[in-house]
Structure 1
Amino acid sequence: MLYPSIDTLLEKVPSKYMLVTVGAKRARQMKDNEDYQLEEYKAYKVVGKALEEISVGAIQLANENKEN
């Protein structure tokens, strides 16, 4: 079974497409800088670790819709 579940992740991120983008970007940051937000992860790979961070709310999405 997938952990964290897609339903849990979609509560934090508005769409599957954004989830993929945010997860991949965070995984690259983790790989390059070894900057981990959680003390313990269930996943072995950085993409799974990034999704765990999104699931628990350690990663916040910035609102890019700026109104002038």
Structure 2
Amino acid sequence: MMLYPPMKDLLKEIPSRYMLVNVVAQRARQIASEAESAGIPLDDKPVSMAIREVADGKIDVTTE
């Protein structure tokens, strides 16, 4: 099974695997919560949606 998008592409957006996991998990919970409160059924899993957002550069993570 191939991971899409590839890990190397995700790590271009977020430099640490550990940070990537935390960012994706937080965004996935947010997506699921927003869909539930709006009563919108999701066609895809929240984690998959969050990973695609990271790959597309839609999530801005700044490290201090």
Q: Which runs of 4+ in 1 moved over 3 A?
A: none
Give identity over the alignment, percent.
43
- Once the two structures are TM-superposed, the CA of residue 45 in structure 1 deviates from its matched residue by 1.0
Q: If the length of structure 2 is used for normalisation, what is the TM-score?
A: 0.79
Q: How far is the alpha carbon of 1:8 from its aligned partner? A: 0.4
Q: Is residue 2:54 matched to residue 1:44?
A: no
The size of the alignment, in residue pairs, is: 56
Structure 1 residue aligned with 2:40: none
- List alignment gaps of at least 5 residues for structure 2: 36-42
* 1:20 equivalenced with 2:27 (yes/no): no
Query: What residue ranges of structure 1 are gaps of 5+ in the alignment?
Result: 35-42
RMSD: 1.4
Relative contact order (alpha carbons < 8 A, sep ≥ 6): 1 or 2 greater? 2
- TM-score norm. by structure 1 comes to 0.75
**Larger helix proportion of the pair:** 2
- Displacement of 1:50 after TM fit? 0.1
Aligned equivalent of 1:33: 34
